[in-house]
Chains A and B, each alone.
Chain A
Amino acid sequence: AQKVTQAQTEISVVEKEDVTLDCVYETRDTTYYLFWYKQPPSGELVFLIRRNSFDEQNEISGRYSWNFQKSTSSFNFTITASQVVDSAVYFCALNILTGGGNKLTFGTGTQLKVEL
């Protein structure tokens, strides 16, 4: 069975601080995709990034960056110079090849609070 662990339940930072959200996953499949989604108070999940199991290149998109390490089964997410608008719940998710289709296994989420 698949599992995604986000050990950090809640993180509070002051604006402009950097913050890293941790994600550790478990799967026996060798082909899979990892995702990060953001859930603002309005409720809908917003897609941020996906990474396949064969691509360990780190990625940077503006203030966001992602570090994928297969050796430690981790897919961590860093926000540089955080802003109040970054306050939300962030979810890491996994989808595997076996069974096909869209069947995301989510972590329990990390509530990020960015204060002035």
Chain B
Amino acid sequence: KAGVTQTPRYLIKTRGQQVTLSCSPISGHRSVSWYQQTPGQGLQFLFEYFSETQRNKGNFPGRFSGRQFSNSRSEMNVSTLELGDSALYLCASSPASQMNTEAFFGQGTRLTVV
């Protein structure tokens, strides 16, 4: 069974640009969550999508957005990039949207904003 696939693995963008990251969950999983990992703030929850609907949202500005498609693949978008957006963005896939559900993580997209 294929794991969670995130593309691209590495990305370098200029301040002010926008970026789209992609996540393909494990086949059959309907929940996709996104996390930002930085040395200063650690792992922080961005949002969760389940059956194409945003289920939960973390405390991030509106520049961070996401969506989920009917095949459960998800994208997240960051507009007007800032230097502080440099981070490892991790996507997690789960079969259900419940508090006890094990999450399977991808290897992440390393975004560098210059």
Contacts and interface: CB of A to CB of B under 8 A. Distances in A.
A, B from the same assembly: yes
Interface of A: 31-33, 35, 37, 42-47, 50, 52, 91, 95-97, 99-109
B44 to A, nearest CB: 8
Nearest to B50: A101
Given A96-B99, A102-B33, A104-B103, A44 B90 contact: yes
B90 A102 contact: no
Interface in B50-99: 50, 55-56, 58, 88, 90, 92, 94, 97-99
A103 B81 CA distance: 24
Interface residues of B, number: 31
Given A95-B99, A97-B99, A108-B42, A102 B92 contact: yes
A61 to B, nearest CB: 14
A104 B45 contact: yes
A8 B31 CA distance: 32
Nearest to A105: B45
Contacts of A44: 3-4, 90, 105-108
B90 A103 contact: no
Contacts of B33: 102-104
Contact of A101 (B43, B48, B110): B48
Contacts, number: 80
Contacts of B110: 43
| Closest 6 pairs between A and B when the two form their complex, measured CB to CB | A106-B43, A45-B105, A95-B99, A101-B55, A101-B97, A103-B56
B8 to A, nearest CB: 13
B14 interface: no
Contacts of A31: 99
Contact of A102 (B44, B56, B107): B56
